[in-house]
A = this chain, B = another copy of it.
Amino acid sequence: MDYSEMHPQQVKELIREGKIDFQTSGMCNGYAQANLCILPEDYAFDFLLFCMRNPKPCPILEVGDVGSKEIKTMASHGDICKDFPKYRIWENGILKEEVTDISDYWRNDLVYFLIGCSFSFESEMLEAEIPVRHIQEGKNVPMFNTNIKLQPAGKFHGNMVVSMRPIPNDLVVKSVNVTAAMPRVHGAPVQIGNPEAIGISDIMKPDYGDSVTVNEGEIPVFWACGVTPQNAVMQSKPPFAITHAPGHMFITDVKNVNLKY
């Protein structure tokens, strides 16, 4: 089945029916995808501030009112509890369970945060004839912990997580330009060609996702990644949290071109 040309509403119906419970890279070309973090009200101000202070890895797309499950801006009739293919339930920073619906876990003191995802700009890269290796190879994007320290805020601190895409030499500048135009889905790369400078010793051993082939004449290019806020949250060990499962995103009804400031 080719999901790349489907409308987000069609894919979300398949997700609600349980027919899509796998990762969403390459689906619904042109539409922005979003990461998820759900926290109790007590943690909401610190987390929102953390995101604002670190907009590159944590670009906020939408935040719910306290207790609200409804997604209003990034989709019409979105349900935060049902519209991701897979969720993770956390207690005190420890992963407890993966589920495909969180309605039974919802509480009136919870606040959801939708955060921009680099999957959003991949269709723009393909449009610009820049290859996206993990899509070519049918894998999840490789993601790495780095030594790039983030601005702390209250309970939250941590280092940046990045995603990596191998880019042919002569398309590196183009890949910068294409992604720089989309700051709300991570924007321009944070590192080009020198993984060691940001604390990555082996690009074939990602900390999250899958490894992908890097061909002769290609440069590894690193973008800020939406796993960053999840990592920061887990380090602070909140009593309860819900996130999406890595790579299993919310597909918004908003086109990337409408996300530019």
A261 CB within 8 Å of chain B? yes
In the docked arrangement, what's the CA distance between A49 and B60, Å? 10
In the docked arrangement, what's the CA distance between A111 and B48, Å? 14
Please give, as numbers and ranges, the residues of chain B lying within 8 Å of A22 by CB-CB distance.
none
In the docked arrangement, what's the CA distance between A49 and B261, Å? 18
Contacting pair B45 A52 (CB below 8 A): no
Interface size on A, residues (CB 8 A): 16
- Residue of B41, B49, B66, B261 near A48 (CB, 8 A) is B49
* B-facing residues in A88-122 (Cβ within 8 Å): 111
A44 CB within 8 Å of chain B? yes
Please give, as numbers and ranges, the residues of chain B lying within 8 Å of A49 by CB-CB distance.
48, 63, 65
In the docked arrangement, what's the CA distance between A122 and B9, Å? 45
Contacting pair B183 A153 (CB below 8 A): no
Please give, as numbers and ranges, the residues of chain B lying within 8 Å of A153 by CB-CB distance.
65
Copy number of this protein in the oligomer? 2
* B-facing residues in A45-60 (Cβ within 8 Å): 45, 48-49, 52-53, 60
20 contacts between A and B (CB under 8 A): A41-B45, A44-B45, A45-B45, A45-B48, A45-B66, A45-B111, A48-B48, A48-B49, A48-B52, A49-B63, A49-B65, A52-B52, A52-B60, A52-B63, A53-B63, A65-B153, A65-B154, A66-B154, A183-B261, A261-B261
Smallest Cβ distance from A232 to chain B, in angstroms?
Answer: 15
Smallest Cβ distance from A261 to chain B, in angstroms?
Answer: 5
Among the interface residues A45, A60, A111, A154, which one has the most CB atoms of the partner chain B within 10 A?
A: A45
Please give, as numbers and ranges, the residues of chain B lying within 8 Å of A154 by CB-CB distance.
65-66
Smallest Cβ distance from A213 to chain B, in angstroms?
Answer: 34
Please give, as numbers and ranges, the residues of chain B lying within 8 Å of A111 by CB-CB distance.
45
Please give, as numbers and ranges, the residues of chain B lying within 8 Å of A45 by CB-CB distance.
41, 44-45, 48, 66, 111
Please give, as numbers and ranges, the residues of chain B lying within 8 Å of A44 by CB-CB distance.
45
Residue ID in chain B nearest A44 by CB atoms? B45
